[in-house]
Amino acid sequence: MRIAVPKETQPGERRAALVPESVQRLVKKGFQVVVQAGAGEAAYFTDEDYRKAGASVEASPDALWHQADMVLAVRKPTEDAIARMREGAALVGFLQPLTDLDLVRRLAQRRITAFALETLPRITLAQSMDALTSMSTIAGYKAVLVAAHALPRFFPMLMTAAGTVAPAKVLVIGAGVAGLQAIATAKRLGAVVEAFDQRPVVKEQVESLGGRFVEVPTEEEAETAGGYAKEMSEEYRRRQTEVLRKHIVKADVVITTALIPGKRAPLLITEDMVRQMRPGSVIVDLAAEQGGNCALTEPGKEVLKHGVLIIGPLNLPSTLPFPASQMISRNLEKLILHLANAEGLKLDLEDEITRGTLITHGGEVVHPAVREKMTEA
């Protein structure tokens, strides 16, 4: 089986889908790996590193895409790239299948067997393959560093000859993987940390990291069977807004991470809340790519509104390309070995991981949630 690793083409993308250590292990198992020239340069992996690991390096992107049995791409490919793939080949990557339905249709038309990393089921067996969790870990960590750089005050309490400087107050909204990493990082920097999540089950995790859990009592089920947050009732959202307002206006830093798969990010911070925050406060909105948790977020930009700096980063994992590439590469390596062997794909549609990640196959859209989304569109 011939695995291709193209050079990422989306602006600002510095990650590589496979790093040399993974290439070496895959080659030992009989896979052929072809890497586009320069594919790892932005993550500090040279073409020679890949050659030493057993890969061949291909200068022509046309040849790379056309000859591959499986293409690994961090970000979803362009239409031109998909057109270069031979029919029946496989594609694995972050494909955004619930929001980019045109891409899904195109993959089906080209009879591509596409696997989306975002839809990997959250089960124990899949943990080593979970690239979304890996990237969320990086995003949560880096969000705090971005906030600390932008905040015009110290994070930790300092006791000096000039007096005591109080620590910064940080509120993390959403205690999933990114949120928990943000809590841990903010605590390491010495901040006083609070965290909110609609799922009461995460309270213990928040407190174990030294954060104070902000709770909105409810009897509603707050997460899906797959462990993701779900949309709540209008009454819950009203009470949530009242509780959050009290904590947001007292915070020096707010980091938002609340997402619902396939939907616009929930709006949690209104303009009126921002207006009540102290001048110099900072909001880092990790949900910016899906519309943002703050009403004033502008995706990909930093804006100053009512004295508050609102940062809407789009791809924080790519700002740490070396560890991000290592992590996603290890995840992909495990997934490849689950889906294929040296002879080719071994599609077992009874298998939960295969069934959960498979989006298109044989000219059809086969993922139930994606099919339902296409019916609604």
Mean local confidence (pLDDT), 258-286:
94
Please determine whether the domains at 2-119+321-376 and 137-314 fall in the same fold group of CATH.
Answer: yes
Domain boundaries, the chain: 2-119+321-376, 137-314
pLDDT of the residue at 280: 97
Mean local confidence (pLDDT), 190-211:
94
pLDDT of the residue at 263: 86
Each residue's pLDDT tens digit, 321-340: 999 999 999 999 999 999 99
pLDDT of the residue at 239: 87
Mean local confidence (pLDDT), 336-361:
95
pLDDT at 272 over 70: yes
Angle (CA) 68 71 75, round 5°: 150
pLDDT at 65 over 80: yes
**Selection from 240, 254, 244, 247 nearest residue 308 by Cα:** 254
pLDDT of the residue at 226: 54
pLDDT at 298 over 80: yes
The CB-side HSE value for 319 (13 A sphere, CA atoms) comes to 14
Q: Band of the pLDDT at 229, cuts 50, 70, 90?
A: low
Tell me the C-alpha distance between 17 and 5, whole Å: 7
CA separation (Å) from 139 to 22, 47, 170, 296? 23, 27, 16, 20
pLDDT at 217 over 90: no
**Selection from 21, 58, 12 nearest residue 330 by Cα:** 21
pLDDT of the residue at 219: 63
Percent of all residues in the chain with a pLDDT value above 70, rounded to a whole number: 96
pLDDT at 119 over 90: yes
Q: Band of the pLDDT at 245, cuts 50, 70, 90?
A: very high
Which range has highest mean pLDDT (194-198, 225-229, 372-376)? 194-198
pLDDT of the residue at 221: 62
pLDDT of the residue at 124: 94
Q: Band of the pLDDT at 227, cuts 50, 70, 90?
A: low
Tell me the average pLDDT of the chain.
Answer: 94
Each residue's pLDDT tens digit, 120-161: 999 999 999 999 999 999 999 999 999 999 999 999 999 989
**Selection from 135, 151, 143, 146 nearest residue 282 by Cα:** 151
pLDDT at 174 over 70: yes
CATH topology of domain 2-119+321-376: Rossmann fold (3.40.50)
CATH match of 137-314 with 3.40.50.1970: no
Q: Give the residues across from 282 on adjacent strands.
A: 253, 309
Tell me the C-alpha distance between 95 and 114, whole Å: 9
pLDDT of the residue at 230: 56
Tell me the C-alpha distance between 171 and 206, whole Å: 12
Rounded to 5 degrees, φ, ψ at 293 are -85, -15
SS3 of residue 33 by DSSP = strand
